[in-house]
Amino acid sequence: MNPNPTSIDMATSRRWPEEGITRVPAWIYSDPGLFRRELDEFFAGDSWNFVGLDCEVPEKGDYKRAWIGDRQVIITRDADGVHVLENRCSHRGGAVVWQNKGHARMLTCPYHQWGFNMKGECRGVSLIKGVHGEGGMPPDFDMKQHGLRRLRVAVVGGSVWASFSDTVPDFETYCGPLAMKRLRRLMPGRPLKLLGHSRQLIPCNWKLYYENNRDPYHGTLLHTFFITFGLYRADSRHDTSPEQGGMHSVNVAAPGDRQGDGSFTKELKRFKDFKLNDMEAVKFADEYGDGEMTAMQLFPSAFIQQHANVLAVRLINPKGVRATEVDWTYFGYADDDADMQRIRLKQANLLGPSGFVSMDDSELLKQLQRQVDGYPDSKAVLEMGGRDVKPQVTMATEVGLRAFYDFYRQRLGL
């Protein structure tokens, strides 16, 4: 066998390691054929995808562009509410909307100026009758048959989700009870307020980033900020729960609820010399009254998180086999007071491209992609916390990754 195959059928010529879900083969991060299948069968297939907050399109005529895998969509609002349309002109396939955000009476494709309303219905075809009786569309041409594709939409507590699939279950069934409960904790219907976005392009396969979000184990080792300032520690209470057969994962940490006799703290002494001049950036105000922080992943691309008092949805957009855009949406509540809004914005410095915590991941995953590229026949070991997929009450586990690859292999027949 060619030791370094790059052909589109590479996935079919490779086998998953015999050990099963405790091993992940490195070739899955560089296989172009597999990447295409993931885009088509996951992102554009039976899934629900976060596309934005409804407060990002507050007025009739507002629109916002978003991505589901490599497909562009447009979130719009009209008198009937929020719609999600594919940003692909029904004439010759051009992108209708080119701006990330805007306001318009009609959406007009720049190529030949076909016009669409906010529901995606075609309402205008330029030169439809031709010029001086010549050309134009045939008399039986029916604009009603040529609208933009409309996706299924679910609006939950101010978050907007969309699906290309006609067969995927409704959003609540898709998420399952635990993920819905944790989502409603952050988005109970209290109006949300957009605080901002940041975006970064990381030169790694999307699954390396996806795994990282499900891996609480690295959080207390790689991320000096978390450990030093007590936001996330290995000896805190931690629930690590794969959901819906490994599709989703729900992690809950209670940083103030320490387990054990404190001896673990001594192991952390190598970090004790780090100091901050402004401790407010890492001070956790228990706004939900349960002392908990949440990091929840909804397949295939959304990572919803509450670290201290920063609230964010992290969207994982695959841009190529070795390129992943991470798009962060920071939010608060419309009724937050000025002090809480200031704290949320300050703590947003933990996350994002140069975040005190998140920049560790970006650099690490860039290096990791080089490693997996160089050793496609190697395999990762996932045995922390055992070899099964049952929920655990510790962060010292890789159960979230095992469960994801259990699902992944079944879905793709690998």
Which residues of the chain form contacts with Fe ion (CB under 5 A)? 361
Measured from the CB atom, the residue of 28 and 107 that comes closer to ligand FES is 107
Q: How many residues does the chain have?
A: 414
| Nearest-approach distance from CB 86 to ligand FES, in angstroms | 13
Measured from the CB atom, the residue of 48 and 356 that comes closer to Fe ion is 356
* Segment lying near ligand FES (by CB under 6 A), choices 2-10, 17-25, 85-93, 248-256: 85-93
**318: preceding bond cis by omega (within 30 degrees):** no
* Segment lying near ligand FES (by CB under 6 A), choices 40-48, 86-94, 158-166, 233-241: 86-94
Q: State CA 392 to chain mean position distance.
A: 23
* Geometric angle at alpha carbon 394, from 220 and 248, rounded to 5°: 90
| Nearest-approach distance from CB 107 to ligand FES, in angstroms | 10
What are 294's strand-pairing partners?
252, 306
CA distance 162 to 81: 14
* Segment lying near ligand FES (by CB under 6 A), choices 84-92, 156-164, 237-245, 363-371: 84-92
CA distance 330 to 55: 12
Site for ligand FES (CB under 6 A): which residue of 32, 33, 94, 203? 94
CA distance 142 to 137: 9
* Segment lying near ligand FES (by CB under 6 A), choices 107-115, 170-178, 276-284, 359-367: 107-115
Give residue 324's identity as a one-letter amino acid code.
T
141 in contact with ligand FES (CB under 6 A): no
98 in contact with ligand FES (CB under 6 A): no
| Nearest-approach distance from CB 128 to ligand FES, in angstroms | 12
Tokens of 132: 């001086």
Task: Give the CB-side neighbour count of residue 93, counting CA atoms within 13 A.
Answer: 1
Beta-carbon count within 10 A of 35 CB: 22
CA distance 83 to 23: 41
361, interface contact from Fe ion, ligand FES, none, CB < 5-8 Å by kind: Fe ion
Measured from the CB atom, the residue of 82 and 148 that comes closer to ligand FES is 148
Q: Alpha-carbon Rg of the chain, whole angstroms? A: 23
23 in contact with ligand FES (CB under 6 A): no
114 in contact with ligand FES (CB under 6 A): yes
CA distance 112 to 125: 8
| Nearest-approach distance from CB 212 to Fe ion, in angstroms | 5
* Segment lying near ligand FES (by CB under 6 A), choices 52-60, 88-96, 230-238, 278-286: 88-96
112 in contact with ligand FES (CB under 6 A): yes
CA distance 209 to 326: 9
| Nearest-approach distance from CB 110 to ligand FES, in angstroms | 7
Site for ligand FES (CB under 6 A): which residue of 13, 19, 101, 111? 111
Q: State CA 108 to chain mean position distance.
A: 29
Residue 296 contacts residue 303 (beta carbons within 8 Å): yes
Judged by the rule CB under 6 A, the positions of this chain that interact with ligand FES are: 89, 91-92, 94, 109, 111-112, 114
